[in-house]
């Protein structure tokens, strides 16, 4: 494992977005997860489909496995030796809203006039999937919601707003 140093650079504060990005926020990792979620599970398939360098793919898969987002599962095809493939684990599948949200944004903002290049459906019923924000007062938030961020229970620093206001104190 060559470049497995702690990915604790650029965590501005203890923000969950920064922490998550430190784990999966590089150029390839989300595409690897997208492919694994889509059933592309084997090293050479992933390398071929993504066009990623093999050493980079190996290091990304090692990181994802170590972090528990994908699992390495043994399989054996008739007349071949045992090999391994990669599958999403539970925490990996919890990233689906991230992938769907990326896809929805791209569909709205970057797709050509023909429409979105792919559609996600509920595996159970075949209904088209959408991602939405709602609040626990029961409001459905629209496409361009207005949000506010506050420090939470695990906050170690003052909120952005407070930090900003106090900068010259």
* Site residues, DNA (CB under 7 A): 1-3, 5, 9-10, 26-28, 42-45, 51-56, 58-59, 61, 79-85
Give the torsion sign (CA, 10, 72, 87, 44).
Answer: positive
Our CB check for a copy of itself shows the closer of 72 and 161 to be 161
Partner interacting with residue 98 (select from DNA, a copy of itself, none; CB below 5-8 Å by kind): a copy of itself
**In terms of C-beta density within 10 A (0-12 exposed, 13-18 middle, 19 or more buried), how is residue 50 classed?**
middle
Our CB check for DNA shows the closer of 20 and 55 to be 55
* Structural tokens at position 76: 């054996």
Our CB check for DNA shows the closer of 5 and 146 to be 5
Identify any residues that bridge with 140 across adjacent strands, giving them in sequence order.
134
* Structural tokens at position 110: 């970057």
Strand 70-75 and strand 83-88: the pairing is: antiparallel
Closest contact distance (angstroms) between CB of 156 and DNA is 21
**In terms of C-beta density within 10 A (0-12 exposed, 13-18 middle, 19 or more buried), how is residue 154 classed?**
exposed
Partner interacting with residue 127 (select from a copy of itself, DNA, none; CB below 5-8 Å by kind): a copy of itself
Our CB check for a copy of itself shows the closer of 14 and 55 to be 14
Closest contact distance (angstroms) between CB of 84 and a copy of itself is 17
Closest contact distance (angstroms) between CB of 169 and a copy of itself is 15
* Structural tokens at position 2: 């060559």
Partner interacting with residue 43 (select from DNA, a copy of itself, none; CB below 5-8 Å by kind): DNA
Say which residues have a Cβ less than 8 Å from residue 15's Cβ, sequence separation at least 6.
Answer: none
């Amino acid at each position: 494992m060559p470049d497995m140093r702690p990915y604790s650079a650029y965590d501005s504060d203890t923000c969950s977005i920064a922490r998550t990005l430190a784990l999966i926020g590089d150029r390839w990792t989300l595409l690897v997860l997208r492919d694994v979620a889509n059933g592309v599970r084997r090293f050479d398939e992933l390398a071929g489909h993504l066009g990623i360098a093999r050493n980079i793919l190996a290091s990304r898969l090692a990181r994802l496995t170590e972090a528990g987002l994908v699992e390495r599962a043994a399989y054996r095809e008739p007349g071949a030796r045992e090999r391994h493939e990669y599958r999403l684990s539970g925490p990996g599948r919890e990233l689906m809203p991230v992938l769907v949200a990326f896809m929805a944004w791209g569909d709205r903002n970057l797709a050509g006039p023909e429409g979105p290049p792919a559609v996600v459906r509920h595996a159970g019923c075949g209904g088209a999937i959408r991602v939405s924000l709602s609040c626990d007062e029961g409001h459905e938030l629209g496409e361009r919601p207005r949000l506010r961020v506050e420090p939470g229970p695990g906050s170690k620093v003052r909120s952005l707003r407070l930090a900003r206001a106090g900068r010259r104190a």
